[in-house]
Structure 1
Amino acid sequence: MLLETREAPQVIARQLHENAALVEGLERAIRERQPAYAVTVARGSSDHACTVIKYALETQLGLPVASLGPSVLTLYGTRLNLQGALVIAVSQSGASPDVVENVRMAREQGALTVALVNVEDSDLAHAAEFTLPLRCGEEKAVAATKSFLASLTALLPVIAGLRDDPQLTTALEGLPEKLTAALALEGAAAELAERYIFAENLIVLARGMNYGVAHEAALKLKETSGVHAEAYSAAEFSHGPKRLLVEGVPLLGFTSADAAWPAVQEAYADLSGARADLRTIGPAPESTLQTPETGHRLTDPVACAMTFYLFAAHLALHRGLNPDQPPLLSKVTRTR
């Protein structure tokens, strides 16, 4: 898990270079067909990447995004009307039958279908009209790291082109260097992880671009350390879950450098005032682990997620666990 996390800068650089022609083709198709909305199809870590993609598409392109329930087709037999949609499927393996079948259905109906997939000769890659390979190489650890990070960046060049956004293009070009700088936080991440050696529960908070990262963080804590972790919007946490502070449940919050930060900062200040055990990861100067600003609000979550992976892997090691082989789990899960 640590080795694959450390590969992220090279993976992102390779993806940006090798996907250039594919990005142009997809950008051209979106311009020509003008989808009215987008739908994502994924499970697990890939679905959390889709949450980040949702915020990117909605805030940058004004394109509404919904998450499709794969079982609506595969278990309930209902064919949704996806004509005119942009359908985005994300999968490391490209092997899950329910994701593949939904993409096939959408393509048959005339949707513009896109697969973000690491295994290029996979059923999902063949089912979709367009494929953007993640370019991760083999990922051996059960807990996905570099494939998740590559899922966050694969569509960003398309968004930059559709928006004619030179700031995003520049941020993407410089992202491998920024991620390399973030890897220097590994020692600090390992030190922070020591605080949670005996934690049984943990709440992860975020808003906006980092909301999907928070859900991914909660999943990784369950997978690699057996911690019962749950993710909440920093806005929603006060609507009931805040009661858990009385039980001493610690909090891990993600910070940002975008429009969401003032509201999140206020929420965190309120929690700290209530004497919550709160530590943070992100580009805000007051973060416990301050990640490098990457030059754009769409690329900052990549550095946040990568830094969290360093934290999660070391937490498992501190607890005497092997983060690469969590019990009861396998690398590829085939759901129907």
Structure 2
Amino acid sequence: MSNPPKPRFSNPLMLQEAREAPTVIARQWTENAEAAAHLAGALRDRRPPYAVTVARGSSDHACTFLKYALETQLALPVASLGPSVHTLYGTRLDLRGALVIAVSQSGASPDVVENVRMARESGALTVALVNVEDSDLAEAAEFVLPLKCGEERAVAATKSYLASLTAFLPVLAALTEGEALKTALHALPAALAHTLELEPAASELAERYRFADNLLVLARGLHFGIAQEAALKLKETSGIHAEAYSAAEFSHGPKRLLAEGVPLLGFAPADAAQSATAAAYADLLTAGADLRTIGPAAGSTLTTPQTGHALTDPVASALAFYLYAAHLSLHRGLNPDEPPLLSKVTKTR
């Protein structure tokens, strides 16, 4: 086996911005307190029967996490809205009384903005999780929870995705009177700082995948949105054909790919999904899978800090993965900040 190419880009923006995560999350927790309390009060008064999310790319993966968060904490059913139903097909959905959550770093994508406007006009309670606070999306929504990331220059979003995971959590803590969640959110910046100490181990794990052409990413529950994001980042930054699967669904057909030697990366939770996920991974290892894991579960290949709550553990897992992904790109002799054919903001209609 030949030696890997030497990295030409030692400190890409992707890594620099990922390392800002503890500061970003601390700032968001402090500066959004009033906005989160205001939104929680509105949700108590208006009690939506269901919620829908609208987003693209990394933001949509954050919405997968929010779906599990809202459903597990509030028993509130959540669906993903197809933006083109309104913008291309011209259908105005009946969203009266619904909670509509739009997530966007830039707040500039016309299809997301137009769907929020439509939803608000139809009587929905609309919320924007957005980094650019004077954006069209922030103006269109009734409530805004700013991501508080500052400028994000890397094409591959990191800190804005992490901030999208956490922005709504103080609202859930207020609605559920969850002291454990409040405590975990307060301590999360310190946990993320500890996660950053895993960077050498993340780089070592990434090095063994430097020749991979394909990679399957597995997870369950609250970590599934992290797996979706991981698959996207592997495509963006390393040109690897990666796909995310539920660890529960993987045996229903996709398991066939193990016979082709496709490696697996699994997220290993320490929450209610832990035992089922561990059992699925054990079966895959017995079948001869090349499987490595990231997460707070004991024995993970890259063990992330437990943060004190199931809703905050995935944030540390995602940050650890970003360290892994950036170093994988470097091990492959690539610059994760310059993925071919991609730009920072994509505007869809």
**Which residue number in structure 2 is paired with residue 274 of structure 1?**
287
1:311 paired with 2:301, answer no
Matches within 5 A, 1:275-294: 275-294=288-307
SS of the counterpart of 1:161?
A: helix
1:143 paired with 2:156, answer yes
Give a deviation string over 1:14-59, Cα, whole Å, max 9, x none. Answer: 0000001101110010000010000000000000000000000000
Q: Which runs of 5+ in 1 are unaligned?
A: none
**Which residue number in structure 2 is paired with residue 239 of structure 1?**
252
1:121 paired with 2:120, answer no
Amino acid in the other structure paired with 1:246: A
SS of the counterpart of 1:148?
A: helix
Amino acid in the other structure paired with 2:282: A
Give a deviation string over 1:276-330, Cα, whole Å, max 9, x none. Answer: 0000000011100000000000000000000000000000001011101101000
**Which residue number in structure 1 is paired with residue 181 of structure 2?**
168
Which of 163, 167, 175 is the equivalent residue of 1:154?
167
* In 1, Cα distance between equivalents of 2:232 and 2:187: 29
**Which residue number in structure 2 is paired with residue 57 of structure 1?**
70
* In 1, Cα distance between equivalents of 2:295 and 2:27: 25
**Which residue number in structure 1 is paired with residue 200 of structure 2?**
187
**Which residue number in structure 2 is paired with residue 6 of structure 1?**
19
**Which residue number in structure 1 is paired with residue 6 of structure 2?**
none
Compute the TM-score of the two structures, normalised by the length of structure 1.
Answer: 1.00
Which of 194, 201, 206 is the equivalent residue of 2:214?
201
* In 1, Cα distance between equivalents of 2:348 and 2:96: 25
1:43 paired with 2:49, answer no
**Which residue number in structure 2 is paired with residue 28 of structure 1?**
41
SS of the counterpart of 2:53?
A: strand
Q: After the TM superposition, list the runs of 4 or more consecutive aligned residues in structure 1 that deviate by more than 3 angstroms.
A: none
* In 2, Cα distance between equivalents of 1:196 and 1:178: 27
What percentage of aligned pairs have identical amino acids?
76
Q: Which runs of 5+ in 2 are unaligned?
A: 1-13
Give a deviation string over 1:254-297, Cα, whole Å, max 9, x none. Answer: 00111111000000000000110000000011100000000000
Amino acid in the other structure paired with 1:14: R
**Which residue number in structure 1 is paired with residue 101 of structure 2?**
88
* In 2, Cα distance between equivalents of 1:56 and 1:41: 16
* In 2, Cα distance between equivalents of 1:143 and 1:111: 32
SS of the counterpart of 2:39?
A: helix
SS of the counterpart of 2:197?
A: helix
Amino acid in the other structure paired with 1:239: H
Amino acid in the other structure paired with 1:76: Y
Give a deviation string over 1:189-241, Cα, whole Å, max 9, x none. Answer: 00000111110000000000000000000000000000000000001000000
Amino acid in the other structure paired with 1:297: A
